[in-house]
Structure 1
Amino acid sequence: MTVTTFKPETAEQAAEAVRWALSEGEPLDVAGTGSKRELGRPMQTAYTLDLSGLNGVVAYEPEELVLTARAGTPMAVILPMLAEKRQQLAFEPQDPGPLFGRPAGQGTLGGVLACGLAGPRRISAGSARDHALGMEGVNGRGEVYKAGGKVVKNVTGYDVPKLMAGSFGTLTALTEVTVKVLPAPEDTRTLLLAGRDDAAAVEALTRAMQSPHEVSGAAHLPADVAARSGVRGVSGIGGAVTLVRLEGFGPSVAARVAALKEELGADAVLDREESLAVWREIRDVTFFGPLPNPPPLRRGGDESPSPASAGEGRGGGTGEHLLWKLSVPPADGARIAGAIRDRLDAALYFDWAGGLLWVATPSPDSAPAIRGLLNGSGHATLVRAPDDLRASVEVFQPLPEPLMALTRRVKDGFDPRGILSPGRMYAGV
């Protein structure tokens, strides 16, 4: 299919493109740089609305902890600018580009918000939607509108910016966003607990989260996954590794590390640089990223993938292995992980203190198995898979009919003729 691209440089030009699409009855694939194009169901449209031309910081007020930028502004511009002022996006946005064979750092601020991406710090700082203050965009009627403000107290009525988080461009083509920023930690340290099985690891992570020590990251890497880490302090342990992150002012971090190390019986502590490196790996799921020429996959019998090959991929940037993101109650995480290993050839690890499972599997029919094992106890999202599979199964967790009906009404309210990324999240929506 030949695809025609509209690349507006202003909100009004974006609105003109949507109004043209309305007049012609042609749906638009709403995109930025395309770093997250494989997230969601595949789009079959002849026209793309490329928002990457809406680029540039509109206002940055470090003293007020507020940033306003056009939606197509690259994260490679945003993050260094914040770091220069010792600030950050506290929800720790994930960079999924490398999972699909693309270079890191190509995403945009609007894409991060539209896809609702948040990393390990979500358990302490909240998700992307919790940091969205205001937005400007074009709805499916071709109208430019604004919602929210630069401070929380200015927001009245429906909190539309938060509704946009995780909508994947199906409700509005974002042209400008305002987000809350926060001070970056002066120091970061990570406690390592060696050799814990899944259940013991989740129990330790739960104790850490319930402690008064302000934990900002809590993850568990089974032995085969820990071996893939590029951080020697992690891969060198030679077994499973449970990680607990502490951040803040130097003296405070040192005191909390000492106290929690004794409480948990930690085996080692990573310094700041190693901590930053391993939490980037956890955030961006680099353990399961595609490689250009992976070894042959072994299937059948009692054989399972070797640690060097599990989670690797090839072909079209999608990887040979499917990648699932499971959001579950932390208390159920170890049980669900065990059930997945019993049913599927899979490699996995835990984030969010056991509440998030990243699962890589070569099984193309894993959808019914994984969703059946959840048995209503959580949500499963298919993050990486070939286009034909993403078109034939539910990529996002199927919604009960009352919630689906509400989803359709919201879609109808913003985009009554289904012009904006139709079917990206659910068929017919």
Structure 2
Amino acid sequence: MVETRASERLMPGTAEDVRAIVADAVAQGTPLAVEGTGSKGGLGRPVQVARTLSTAGLSGILFYEPEELVLSARAGTPLAEIEALLSSRGQRLDFEPMDYGPLHGRARGEGTLGGLLACNLSGPRRIKAGAARDHVLGIEAVSGRGEIFRSGGRVVKNVTGYDLSKGMAGSFGTLAVLTEVTIKVLPASATETTLLLRGLDDEQAAGAMAGAMGSSAEASGAAHLPYDVAGRVVDGALGRAPATAIRLEGIAPSVAARADHLARGLERLGSLERLEGEASVRFWRDVRDARPFADGTERPVWRVSLAPTHAPAFVMDLRMGAGTDAFYDWQGGLVWLRMEAGADEALVRGLVARHGGGHATLVRASVAERAATPVFQPQPAALAALSARLKHQFDPAGVLNPGRMG
């Protein structure tokens, strides 16, 4: 994906360097684009400014205490480096953060820790583990006033007053420039198995996923890939027939017992297959990263959150009005859409409202289309006013990522 870039790239090495750059921007009235490596530059509206502040120079693990389940690193630390370190100690980021790189035509593994929190990333396990904001313990950051501030700490129960750490989640660099992040980590699962039901339509799949998630199986993932979409994960190994997936994790005896119990209930609905170990990991990684739509194009992709029971009817109505490809995560509560001819924002958001309400975010499109489209779900007036006041408190001069969120 081609993204317009600022002409001058600044790469500070310390929080004090960041403070000085932001203070100068305020004094000179010259806004800044804020990014890590730019791997998520295709998210949000385009930022057209003369200078980019990159946190890629703020890299390195500050401390890692496996026994305390805590890790702290500078904001520009590559997420791939953090995940490799955690894996070596049998731990992980439990919220399974999505990697937007492939969807935007870039390689996997280029994202940073600061970008993870700024975009509040999560993956298929969100229905059980939450998102990045639910795991952050503390931050250091530089506000748009050019002031260094800290919030939270190194332990889970260490928050009093306003929790600014969580407030940075989903702010997309518009409130402050993150310089350090402390985050909670958890043990990785010893065993992973995915049950695959084949051949269900969207309505049948919604029922199967609801039944599985409501059972005692303790599933950590539930997704449905309709016809042909299933053929675009794990290098086409599944074939094109629809696949409804339920993931189970834990110690081997427990996973085996729960899988067998759940399988007896599911096999009445269709043919049943299993993905074990690495095959299961690859499948959910592809679902997490919206790999079916990582096609090297700029065809618009929407990320829609709505009630799982409404998702199949929403997609069916959308297909009646526009060429649409879709698949479901979060038991159907997250719908990924690829539009074949334009973003069609009025149609998408109109149908979201008609089907119970929710949020629709345009996560991929051409620069021109993102500039012309409200990328994020428009807020109600009261909430928009609150957001504006928050922005003014942190960045009164509007120097950080101006226009990115609206």
Shorter-chain TM band: over 0.9
* CA-to-aligned-CA distance 1:18-77 (integer Å, 9 cap, x gap): 000011001111110000011000001101111110000000000000000000000121
Correspondence for 2:165: 161
Number of aligned pairs? 397
SS at match of 2:85: helix
Would the aligned equivalents of 1:31 and 1:48 in 2 still touch at CA under 8 Å? yes
SS at match of 2:40: coil
Correspondence for 1:225: 229
Q: Is 1:411 aligned to residue 391 of structure 2?
A: yes
1:142 maps to which of 146, 150, 154:
146
Once the two structures are superposed, the pairs formed by residues 139-288 of structure 1 within 5 Å of their partners are 139-230=143-234, 234-235=238-239, 238-265=240-267, 267-288=272-293
Would the aligned equivalents of 1:137 and 1:146 in 2 still touch at CA under 8 Å? yes
Correspondence for 1:4: 8
Following superposition, the deviation at residue 290 of structure 1 comes to 2.4
Following superposition, the deviation at residue 119 of structure 1 comes to 0.4
Q: What amino acid is the match of 1:325?
A: R
Q: Is 1:90 aligned to residue 70 of structure 2?
A: no
Bigger shift: 357-366 or 111-120?
357-366
User: What is the aligned-residue RMSD (CA, Å)?
Assistant: 1.2
Q: What amino acid is the match of 2:259?
A: V
Q: What amino acid is the match of 1:399?
A: Q
Correspondence for 2:39: 35
Q: What amino acid is the match of 1:274?
A: A
SS at match of 1:349: strand
Correspondence for 2:311: 333
Following superposition, the deviation at residue 147 of structure 1 comes to 0.2
CA distance in 2 between partners of 1:9 and 1:2 (Å): 20
Would the aligned equivalents of 1:233 and 1:270 in 2 still touch at CA under 8 Å? no
TM-score (norm 2): 0.96
Correspondence for 1:369: 347
Q: What amino acid is the match of 2:305?
A: S
Correspondence for 1:353: 331
Correspondence for 2:382: 402
Bigger shift: 356-365 or 121-130?
356-365
Correspondence for 1:120: 124
Q: Is 1:130 aligned to residue 126 of structure 2?
A: no
CA distance in 1 between partners of 2:126 and 2:78 (Å): 22
2:78 maps to which of 67, 71, 74:
74
Following superposition, the deviation at residue 358 of structure 1 comes to 0.3
SS at match of 1:59: strand
* CA-to-aligned-CA distance 1:148-179 (integer Å, 9 cap, x gap): 11112211111111111110000110000000
Following superposition, the deviation at residue 385 of structure 1 comes to 0.4
Would the aligned equivalents of 2:266 and 2:272 in 1 still touch at CA under 8 Å? no
SS at match of 1:215: coil
Correspondence for 2:371: 391
Following superposition, the deviation at residue 269 of structure 1 comes to 1.1
Would the aligned equivalents of 2:343 and 2:365 in 1 still touch at CA under 8 Å? no
Following superposition, the deviation at residue 382 of structure 1 comes to 0.3
Would the aligned equivalents of 1:140 and 1:419 in 2 still touch at CA under 8 Å? yes
Unmatched runs of 5 consecutive residues or more in structure 2: none
Would the aligned equivalents of 1:231 and 1:277 in 2 still touch at CA under 8 Å? no
CA distance in 2 between partners of 1:249 and 1:150 (Å): 29
Following superposition, the deviation at residue 212 of structure 1 comes to 1.4
* CA-to-aligned-CA distance 1:68-112 (integer Å, 9 cap, x gap): 000000012101100000000000011111111111111101101
Correspondence for 2:54: 50
Bigger shift: 266-275 or 51-60?
266-275
Following superposition, the deviation at residue 232 of structure 1 comes to 5.5
SS at match of 2:401: coil
Q: What amino acid is the match of 1:424?
A: R
CA distance in 1 between partners of 2:358 and 2:233 (Å): 28
SS at match of 2:228: helix
TM-score (norm 1): 0.91
SS at match of 1:153: coil
* CA-to-aligned-CA distance 1:330-377 (integer Å, 9 cap, x gap): 110111011111111011000000000000012225111101111161
Structure 1 runs, 4 residues or longer, greater than 6 Å off: none
CA distance in 2 between partners of 1:264 and 1:149 (Å): 45
* CA-to-aligned-CA distance 1:169-191 (integer Å, 9 cap, x gap): 00110000000000000010000
Following superposition, the deviation at residue 230 of structure 1 comes to 2.6
Correspondence for 1:26: 30
Q: Is 1:421 aligned to residue 401 of structure 2?
A: yes
CA distance in 2 between partners of 1:98 and 1:416 (Å): 35
Following superposition, the deviation at residue 231 of structure 1 comes to 5.2
Bigger shift: 2-11 or 379-388?
2-11
Instruction: Quickly say closer, same or farther: Cα 1:374–1:233, change in 2 above 3 A.
Output: same
Bigger shift: 351-360 or 93-102?
93-102
Correspondence for 1:305: none
1:381 maps to which of 361, 381, 384:
361
Would the aligned equivalents of 1:194 and 1:267 in 2 still touch at CA under 8 Å? yes
Unmatched runs of 5 consecutive residues or more in structure 1: 292-312, 314-318
Correspondence for 2:320: 342
Q: What amino acid is the match of 2:37?
A: T
